[in-house]
Amino acid sequence: MERDFCMHNLKLPAVLALLLLFSAGPACGKVYIDIDSPSFQQFPIAVADFKPLRPFPENENLSLLFSETLSRDLTLTGYFHLLDRKAFLEDPKRAGITAEGIRFEDWTVIGAEYLVKGGFQTDGRELVAEFRLFDVVRGELVVGKRYAGKSGDHNRMVIQFVSEILLALTGEAGLFDTRIAFVRKSAASAEIYTINFDGSDPRRVTNYNALTLSPRWSPDGRFLVFTSYKEGNPDIYLRDLESGSTKKIGFYPGLNLPGSWSRDGKRLLVTLSRDGNQEIYDMNVGNSLLVRLTHDFSIDVSPVRSPDERRIAFVSNRSGSPQIYIMDADGADVRRLTYLGNYNTSPAWSPKGKKIAYEGSVNGRFQIFLIDAEGGDPQQLTFEAGDHESPSWSPDGRYLAYSVRGYGRSRIEIMNAGGQGVRVLHEDKEASQSPIWSPHLR
Amino acid sequence: MISEQTDRERSGRDRLNSMVFISLLFHAVVLSLLFFTPSFPSPKLTFGPVYTVALVNFSGKTPEQKGVAAGAKELMEAGRTETVLRKRLEAEPVIPIRSLESRRKQDRTLEKAMEEIRKRAAAAEPTPKPQTKDGSNAKAMPEEKAGPASPQPAGDADMDAKNNAYYAMIWSRIKRGWALPQGILPGDVLETVIDVTILRNGAVTEVNFEKRSGNRFFDESALKAIRKASPFPPMPAWIGEASLGVGIRFHSSELRP
């Protein structure tokens, strides 16, 4: 009550004195200070050089290698602001790597919230490393791990610990166990490649010397489906990434193009042109049997399932221009989702189910947009020159991968779902396009 | 409320009219007592909560206010545009990077305004203001008290502006240190309220959650922002309290798919 008085009586100077009489009791003395968040500062974190756990280490440059790899991987996530080591006050020779050996004020005073320390020891080809994350504001250990492996394993150990840090500070373990598949187009052919989330380890998946496109990961990450013209007709193939074997699963007359999988990995949404024009079907991956979902004289393509599998988003030009529509999983109740712009395609349903990312044409250039799955005003995420296409969500729903083409270059980029923190994942002169994010691969 | 009742009474009954007259008379007496009684309790004078809340509250919920001291006005303006920016981010969040940049600029203008207020507050401090401690200085009070009641508030508003300058300092310190990367919050609007007790030397003694947001990362970041900002600047001399209880409300309305 009293607080209400405090908040609302200011317009009435005539009654002010009276109100003051009633409200001036001590209960009204409480002041509230409002602070609104979206300044979005990254976590300030310091990474100290790793210390040898034993005197006279065999491999001294591991000390720097650990801290530098760790700094790089933390930066990649977009959540951390790495403090410059030149600002460090601590004497590395005297300080320890456990809470007892650290003066936390040395770190808070330079603005750190978190500190990573660690140590290593080598024994022939064996490598043991300890990692500790400290909350220096509270002055306590957040998480500590000890990894044992071979001498070349330091990268894997670092990635493992960065995942621990992310889990502790953001609630998600990060994406270091994910890969991104994309299509690399040259003059005569297009092949599928995959690359790690941190841009490392690019691998070629297909080598058909033919047009190959539209890769889609199975929910367990073991299979990739894609369309290839390698036998003349655009058919759908299933590649087992473990065994390397490939099987043709969609070979109806005309176009066969894969869409999204069901969660159990048994069904695949596909676009086929066997009935005259492109229509959407739900295909059984095991026996290729079909259930037709759309019946329209216009083109219906690019189907994606909602995470709860109750709805399907797709692209249709039934209104005259390509727009995104949503229908029930059985094809009923079709409704138009996008109205702004005259060319909206490539829908990607967010893993949490609330949003749909897509590409839309703005002044003749494609940009990435985000729209509520229930409809509403779209939010434009990219603004740079060039065509931004084929958005794909990370499995935690925090990032989008997409392709950028223009000025003779072609890139696969990653940004966070708010449109910030853009990072180039892959760049070359060939056309790289259609990135698609894998699920977590163990 | 009060004016509605008197309208009705005037239209009708004479008896009630006389009651109104008696009521007015009573208020007049009480008011004049207020004006001339030296033993009025001090806290509400040195620390006028009515103004204080409205001025530091940057959320834009409070009604517009006229006749505040210039410094406080600047602060309000700085605070208000901040809020407007945030709203724009929600309503048509089309240019996130740019809005972030303009936010940074905004922070700078705010800091400038703060700096000015600090200077003014520092300049005002040496002028004889006997109501500083514990309110035991009786003679100064009736004069101060006349402020809010008079049509042109001067003394109290000025003091409120100074109080607000102190709160604005706290606000700025906490906001500057509040680290929360984009992308880790759920889509819902979150609010955490943390109560702190500030001693005269600026030390923060008690820190308690009045309300948790339900998101532990958000709560933790808010708590950490306060810990990083403390100790706060020492309380200015014109705040007569031995300690201050302040609620700090952290809001988030990040868009998250």
Q: Which of B181, B217, B225 sits opposite A78 (nearest CB)?
A: B181
Question: Are the Cβ atoms of A26 and B43 closer than 8 angstroms?
Answer: yes
Chain B residues inside the 8 Å CB shell of A75: none
Chain B residues inside the 8 Å CB shell of A6: 49-50, 53-54
Q: Is the ipTM of this complex over 0.90?
A: no
Contacts of A288 (CB under 8 A, 6+ apart): A249, A250, A251
Question: Are the Cβ atoms of A35 and B171 closer than 8 angstroms?
Answer: yes
pLDDT at residue number A18 = 33
CA distance A140 to B4: 60
Q: How far is B123 from chain A (nearest CA, A)?
A: 25
* SS3 of chain A: CHHHHHHHHHHCHHHHHHHHHHHCCHHHHCEEEEEECCCCCCEEEEECCCEECCCCCCCCCHHHHHHHHHHHHHHHHCCEEECCHHHCCCCCCCCCCCHHHCCHHHHHCCCCCEEEEEEEEEECCEEEEEEEEEECCCCEEEEEEEEEEEHHHHHHHHHHHHHHHHHHHHCCCCCCCCEEEEEEECCCCEEEEEEECCCCCCEECCCCCCEEEEEEECCCCCEEEEEECCCCCCEEEEEECCCCCEEEEECCCCCEEEEEECCCCCEEEEEECCCCCCEEEEEECCCCCEEECCCCCCCEEEEEECCCCCEEEEEECCCCCCEEEEEECCCCCCEECCCCCCCEEEEEECCCCCEEEEEEEECCEEEEEEEECCCCCCEECCCCCCEEEEEEECCCCCEEEEEEEECCEEEEEEEECCCCCCEEEEEECCEEEEEEECCCCC
What is the SS3 assignment for B118?
A: helix
pLDDT at residue number A59 = 73
Q: Are A165 and A149 in contact (CB under 8 A)?
A: no
Place of tokens 């958000």: B218
Joined together, the tokens standing for residue B239 give 């705040």
Which residue of chain B is at minimal alpha-carbon distance from A166? B184
Which residue of chain A is at minimal alpha-carbon distance from B227? A137
Question: Are the Cβ atoms of A37 and B178 closer than 8 angstroms?
Answer: yes
From chain B residues 115-144, the ones with a CB under 8 A of any chain A CB are: none
Q: Which of A6, A32, A357 sits opposite B50 (nearest CB)?
A: A6
Low-confidence ranges of chain B (pLDDT < 70): 1-13, 35-157, 159, 187, 253-257
Chain B residues inside the 8 Å CB shell of A355: 257
CA distance A186 to A387: 18
Cis amide linkage into residue B231, ω under 30° from 0: yes
From chain B residues 176-235, the ones with a CB under 8 A of any chain A CB are: 178-184, 187, 193, 217, 224-225, 227-228
A253-297 pLDDT tens trace? 999 999 999 999 999 999 999 988 999 999 999 999 999 999 999
Question: Are the Cβ atoms of A43 and B179 closer than 8 angstroms?
Answer: yes
Q: Which of A3, A36, A381 sits opposite B83 (nearest CB)?
A: A36
Which residue of chain B is at minimal alpha-carbon distance from A37? B252
Chain A residues inside the 8 Å CB shell of B245: 29-31
pLDDT at residue number B162 = 75
B49-71 pLDDT tens trace? 343 333 333 443 333 333 333 33
Q: Are A330 and A319 in contact (CB under 8 A)?
A: no
- Closest among A285, A22, A64 to B34, alpha carbons compared: A22
Q: Which of A31, A43, A399 sits opposite B246 (nearest CB)?
A: A31
Q: Which of B63, B92, B224 sits opposite A137 (nearest CB)?
A: B224
Q: Which of A29, A38, A172 sits opposite B254 (nearest CB)?
A: A38
Q: Does B257 touch chain A (CB under 8 A)?
A: yes
What is the SS3 assignment for B192?
A: strand
Q: How far is B245 from chain A (nearest CA, A)?
A: 6
Question: Are the Cβ atoms of B248 and A32 closer than 8 angstroms?
Answer: yes
Question: Are the Cβ atoms of A379 and B94 closer than 8 angstroms?
Answer: yes
CA distance A177 to A440: 6
Which residue of chain A is at minimal alpha-carbon distance from B166? A33
Supply the pTM of this predicted model: 0.68
- CA dist A208 → A190, A211, A228, B25, B250 (Å): 9, 8, 8, 99, 56
Q: How far is A23 from chain B (nearest CA, A)?
A: 8
Q: How far is B257 from chain A (nearest CA, A)?
A: 5
Chain A residues inside the 8 Å CB shell of B254: 37-38, 40, 418
Q: Which of A26, A81, A171 sits opposite B217 (nearest CB)?
A: A171
Low-confidence ranges of chain A (pLDDT < 50): 1-28
Chain A residues inside the 8 Å CB shell of B52: 31
CA distance B52 to B56: 6
- Closest among A400, A297, A398 to A348, alpha carbons compared: A400
A21-36 pLDDT tens trace? 333 333 345 788 888 7
From chain B residues 77-116, the ones with a CB under 8 A of any chain A CB are: 82-83, 86, 89, 92-97, 100, 103, 107
Q: Which long-range contacts (CB under 8 A, 24 or more apart) does A324-328 make?
A: A324/A356, A324/A358, A324/A371, A326/A373, A327/A293, A327/A294
Question: Are the Cβ atoms of A32 and B247 closer than 8 angstroms?
Answer: yes
- The residues pairing with B89 across neighbouring beta strands, listed in sequence order, are none
Question: Are the Cβ atoms of B249 and A34 closer than 8 angstroms?
Answer: yes
Q: How far is B236 from chain A (nearest CA, A)?
A: 16
Q: Strand A114-123 vs strand A43-47: parallel, antiparallel, or unpaired?
A: parallel
Which residue of chain A is at minimal alpha-carbon distance from B182? A40
Q: Strand A126-135 vs strand A140-150: parallel, antiparallel, or unpaired?
A: antiparallel
CA distance A304 to A205: 23
